[in-house]
Chains A and B, each alone.
Chain A
Amino acid sequence: MSENTNPALVLLGINHNTAPIEVRERLAISAERLPDAIRSLSSVPGIREGLILSTCNRVELLTVQDDTSDLLTFLHEYFAVPAATIKPHLYEFREREAVRHLFRVASSLDSMVVGEPQILGQVKESYTVARDVGAINGSSGGGGQLDRLLQSAFTVAKKVRTETHIGSNSVSIASVAVDLARKIFGSLHGKVILMVGAGKMSELAVRHLIGHGASHLILCNRTKQRAERIAAEFARPGVNVEVIPFEDLYDQATRADIVITSTGAKHHIFGRSNGVHFVQRRRGRPMFFIDIAVPRDVDPRMNEVEGCFVYDIDDLSQVAAGHQADRNREAAAAEKIVAHEVARYQDRLKTLGAVPAILALQENAEALRQAELARTAKVLASLTPEQREAVEAMTRSLTNKLLHPQIVALRKPSE
């Protein structure tokens, strides 16, 4: 029965802008539960195709359906959360607006950190699961609206990433530190990090640097036990971790390419003269000091020494803020791409809608042509095979030319 009505594209969801974490966490779906959730969604009466996107910042249901009223009930029943709790935070988009929202999500324009690269992978993962459980039809043969939509979303996201610099600069302190280190050293492979003191931020920065190829970590802490505990955390194949006593700090520091300091010292640990001495002993090879401590561990005047680059926490934050501003500028260009692609997608959809009518028109014309040829078969019997072929070609060409304006009109997207 429902097959006769026009199915609608509906997107219903909550995200970090509309719902607090208390609500989002009640609707969150783990990767293990996702196939079951999508299967349950697609078994809701009236749902022809369905997909669920669940990340830490959003839960969205994307459906091609006959009726919309069931989606809220589905959320309420599946998650056992009262409808009244969810409803104030819900947003719903239909047709063109749903397409636009999906394109923006996949392009990371709707993310908490605009331009972050993970979201596209998460959308792809949801799509794969939905296809595997049969909640999305293949797009061949005219069906599969979600398949077509998702493929377009991936293309748009890729276009946004290649044509804008939306994701090219880091916006977190730890990744800014990695970016700066790469601007100095190029590749971080084989680089030596010296971590003086300890702290969450400095450990995160070390983790990022090791993730990008740094392979030697020297730990220096006034409390040796603490240094050894951190050493155990970072020990892994391919990473050489070493603990040195605090008294050896100035001798050993020259080995380090990157120094991360976050001690609770009341005065500078590294002065300008230390910088001069280090660079001399390193024969001019540069050193990068990341000073996360407050009060600062590194005398800012060390930055004047040729070969020494000193960034404190404010400098890193400023770079991150500058990058964020860059991303916002790029986001404006990305929005234009998305708007253009939404219009193109809608036009393509309209063209696809005309396919059955075009096929019917062509079949009808072909039947008429065959009928007319059959009617004159006796007259044409005296023709040679070449002449008969010429008549066939002429009638086919005539039919095509007569149909052409009508087919063009059908394919033309309406205003």
Chain B
Amino acid sequence: MSLLWLRVAVFLYGIAALAVLPAALYDRPRWRHLAIPATIAGLLFHFVSLTEMLNAAHHSLPVETHETQSLLALLLALAFVLIYARFRALALGIFLLPLAFLLGLLPAFRPGLEADTLPGLSSGWLFLHIALLLAAYAALFVSLVASVLYLIQERRLKSKSLATDRFRLPPLATIDSIALRSLLFGLPCMTAGLLIGSLLAQITYGATYFRDPKILLAFAMWLAYVGMIYIRRHSGLRGRRAVYLSSFVFMVVLCVWAANQLSAVHRFPTP
């Protein structure tokens, strides 16, 4: 049943991803009235699907790639709705909603294998570890998208082409605020996620887990994340250089994600 709800959610994300284009770029209220409710409805179905999936096997966790993708899709769609509620900025949906749609598409039609919990591991803490890190990834992606939008809007203002093109983007200050606040939101998520993960690994594997390439990369990612926030806050980095910096940290995050394949700690037995 959880798959059916997920398919409905993905379908709604697809509608929202299409509707947000005219709504954000041409300021068409009718399309906005479709995009926002479709996203909210998609989120509800997605949440139901996720809850059912987790309850179905009691101790099962979304550790398989497809389930983590699905959870990330939910977080991205949620980020879009929260940003819209706070800043009335639809433009981020141009990037966030298609990504949420694509991330949800694969798990909706090819379910992954739910893993049984390792003995001695609390599935609640493990779920929190995964969810917090995915929230940090989503926050970083939002920040990257906002930085790109900042660059586009800055170029448009500098080229003085606002009178001739009809695209509507949020004000620079709003985009900048979204970029910085999403980073500030992501930092405690990432810190807590890594701490919980470290404690769980310490209990299960002992000190040897420090030699795991994924763990080493994850701490490098945390340092890069903190470094980026420091630079952005203290030097007021915006525009082109902010995009470069966000892209670099995002690449580190992708490496961390890919490193799951090399990590002994992140392999779970399947039923």
Q: Distance in Å from the Cβ of A53 to the closest Cβ of chain B?
A: 30
A331 to B239, CA, bound (A): 37
B1 at interface (Cβ–Cβ under 8 A)? no
B172 at interface (Cβ–Cβ under 8 A)? yes
Instruction: For the complex, count residues of A whose C-beta is within 8 A of B.
Output: 29
Q: Distance in Å from the Cβ of B141 to the closest Cβ of chain A?
A: 22
A306 to B29, CA, bound (A): 33
A162 to B241, CA, bound (A): 39
B207 at interface (Cβ–Cβ under 8 A)? no
Decide: A323 and B163 in contact? CB cutoff 8 A: yes
Q: Distance in Å from the Cβ of A128 to the closest Cβ of chain B?
A: 29
Chain A residue at smallest Cβ distance from B238: A284
* Interface bits B213-247 vs A (CB < 8 Å: 1, else 0): 00000000000000000000011111111000000
Q: A307 with B239: in contact, given A183-B153, A286-B172 (CB under 8 Å)?
A: yes
Chain B residue at smallest Cβ distance from A325: B163
A285 to B235, CA, bound (A): 10
Within 8 A of A (CB), among B127-181: 153-154, 157-158, 160, 162-164, 166, 170-174
Question: Can you spell out 24 A-B residue pairs with CB atoms less than 8 angstroms apart?
Answer: A168-B27, A183-B157, A183-B162, A183-B171, A183-B172, A184-B157, A184-B172, A185-B172, A186-B171, A186-B172, A186-B173, A283-B236, A285-B236, A303-B158, A306-B154, A306-B239, A306-B240, A307-B238, A309-B158, A311-B160, A318-B160, A322-B162, A322-B164, A326-B166
Which residues of chain B have C-beta atoms less than 8 A from A180's C-beta? 157, 162
Which residues of chain B have C-beta atoms less than 8 A from A319's C-beta? 160, 162-163
Q: Distance in Å from the Cβ of B183 to the closest Cβ of chain A?
A: 15
A400 to B126, CA, bound (A): 73
Decide: A284 and B236 in contact? CB cutoff 8 A: yes
Chain A residue at smallest Cβ distance from B153: A183
Decide: B158 and A185 in contact? CB cutoff 8 A: no
- Among A162, A286, A309, A319, chain B packs the most CB atoms within 10 A around the CB of A286
A315 to B170, CA, bound (A): 21
Residues of B within 8 A of A (CB): 27, 29, 153-154, 157-158, 160, 162-164, 166, 170-174, 234-241
Decide: B237 and A284 in contact? CB cutoff 8 A: yes
Within 8 A of B (CB), among A271-327: 282-286, 303-304, 306-307, 309, 311, 315, 318-323, 326
Pick the contact of B163 from A184, A286, A306, A318 — CB < 8 Å? Answer: A318
Which residues of chain A have C-beta atoms less than 8 A from B164's C-beta? 322
A356 to B231, CA, bound (A): 79
Which residues of chain A have C-beta atoms less than 8 A from B237's C-beta? 284
Chain A residue at smallest Cβ distance from B240: A306
Q: Distance in Å from the Cβ of A237 to the closest Cβ of chain B?
A: 26
Which residues of chain A have C-beta atoms less than 8 A from B236's C-beta? 282-285
Taking A318-B163, A319-B160, A322-B164 as known contacts, 12 extra A-B pairs with beta carbons closer than 8 A to each other, sorted by chain A number, are A183-B153, A184-B173, A185-B173, A186-B170, A186-B172, A284-B237, A286-B173, A306-B241, A307-B239, A319-B162, A321-B163, A326-B166
A182 at interface (Cβ–Cβ under 8 A)? yes
A319 to B163, CA, bound (A): 5
A165 at interface (Cβ–Cβ under 8 A)? yes
A168 to B29, CA, bound (A): 13
Chain B residue at smallest Cβ distance from A284: B236
Q: Distance in Å from the Cβ of A330 to the closest Cβ of chain B?
A: 11
- Please classify the interface of chain A as helix (H, G, I), strand (E, B), loop, or mixed, using the class held by over half of its residues: helix
Decide: A306 and B172 in contact? CB cutoff 8 A: no
Decide: B173 and A306 in contact? CB cutoff 8 A: no
A184 to B154, CA, bound (A): 8
Which residues of chain A have C-beta atoms less than 8 A from B157's C-beta? 180, 183-184, 309
Q: Distance in Å from the Cβ of B7 to the closest Cβ of chain A?
A: 35
Which residues of chain B have C-beta atoms less than 8 A from A168's C-beta? 27
Decide: B171 and A185 in contact? CB cutoff 8 A: yes
Decide: A182 and B172 in contact? CB cutoff 8 A: no
Q: A306 with B238: in contact, given A184-B171, A185-B172 (CB under 8 Å)?
A: yes
Q: Distance in Å from the Cβ of B107 to the closest Cβ of chain A?
A: 38
Q: Distance in Å from the Cβ of A185 to the closest Cβ of chain B?
A: 5
Q: Distance in Å from the Cβ of A258 to the closest Cβ of chain B?
A: 13
Decide: B29 and A315 in contact? CB cutoff 8 A: no
Q: Distance in Å from the Cβ of B264 to the closest Cβ of chain A?
A: 43
- Among B29, B164, B173, B235, chain A packs the most CB atoms within 10 A around the CB of B173
Q: Distance in Å from the Cβ of A266 to the closest Cβ of chain B?
A: 25
Q: Distance in Å from the Cβ of A166 to the closest Cβ of chain B?
A: 13
Which residues of chain B have C-beta atoms less than 8 A from A182's C-beta? 171
* Interface bits A97-125 vs B (CB < 8 Å: 1, else 0): 00000000000000000000000000000
Within 8 A of B (CB), among A168-185: 168, 180, 182-185
Q: Distance in Å from the Cβ of A412 to the closest Cβ of chain B?
A: 32
- Among B158, B170, B241, chain A packs the most CB atoms within 10 A around the CB of B158
A122 to B18, CA, bound (A): 41
A254 to B27, CA, bound (A): 35
Chain B residue at smallest Cβ distance from A319: B163
A183 to B241, CA, bound (A): 21
A283 to B231, CA, bound (A): 11
Which residues of chain B have C-beta atoms less than 8 A from A286's C-beta? 172-173, 238
Chain B residue at smallest Cβ distance from A323: B163
A303 to B156, CA, bound (A): 12
Which residues of chain B have C-beta atoms less than 8 A from A285's C-beta? 236
Chain B residue at smallest Cβ distance from A320: B163
Chain B residue at smallest Cβ distance from A184: B172
Q: Distance in Å from the Cβ of A382 to the closest Cβ of chain B?
A: 63
A62 to B127, CA, bound (A): 73
A352 to B47, CA, bound (A): 54
Q: Distance in Å from the Cβ of A183 to the closest Cβ of chain B?
A: 5
A183 to B235, CA, bound (A): 23
Pick the contact of B235 from A283, A303, A323 — CB < 8 Å? Answer: A283
Which residues of chain A have C-beta atoms less than 8 A from B160's C-beta? 311, 315, 318-319
Which residues of chain B have C-beta atoms less than 8 A from A320's C-beta? 163
Q: Distance in Å from the Cβ of A195 to the closest Cβ of chain B?
A: 21
Decide: B27 and A165 in contact? CB cutoff 8 A: yes
Which residues of chain A have C-beta atoms less than 8 A from B162's C-beta? 180, 183, 319, 322
